[in-house]
Amino acid sequence: MLCRDRGVGEFVYPRKMNWEKLIEFVDNSPPEVINAVSDKILGASPNTYIFTKHLAEAAIEDAAAEGLPCFISRPAIGNNYCLIS
């Protein structure tokens, strides 16, 4: 189902990157390396907010798969949420 016909689906979008590997890379890399590859990491994401929101939703989806009751609220687009079961 799409919320309010804005083209935003009430589901977790397919992953473009493994969030755990990205955190490991950032934790173990010097800032100059991270800065040098940041555009490649961001890919087609229009900004860092959307990129990190997508990573956070992937982490929540993984937690839900392990049995933690979760849901994703997207208040910026109205009373929309994505229930993860």
Quote the pLDDT of residue 62.
93
Q: Which H or E run contains 23?
A: helix 19-27
Q: Which H or E run contains 19?
A: helix 19-27
Quote the pLDDT of residue 3.
43
pLDDT digit string (tens) for 50-84?
A: 889 889 999 999 998 999 988 887 766 555 555 56
Structural domain boundaries of the chain? 7-84
pLDDT digit string (tens) for 33-56?
A: 999 999 999 988 888 888 898 899
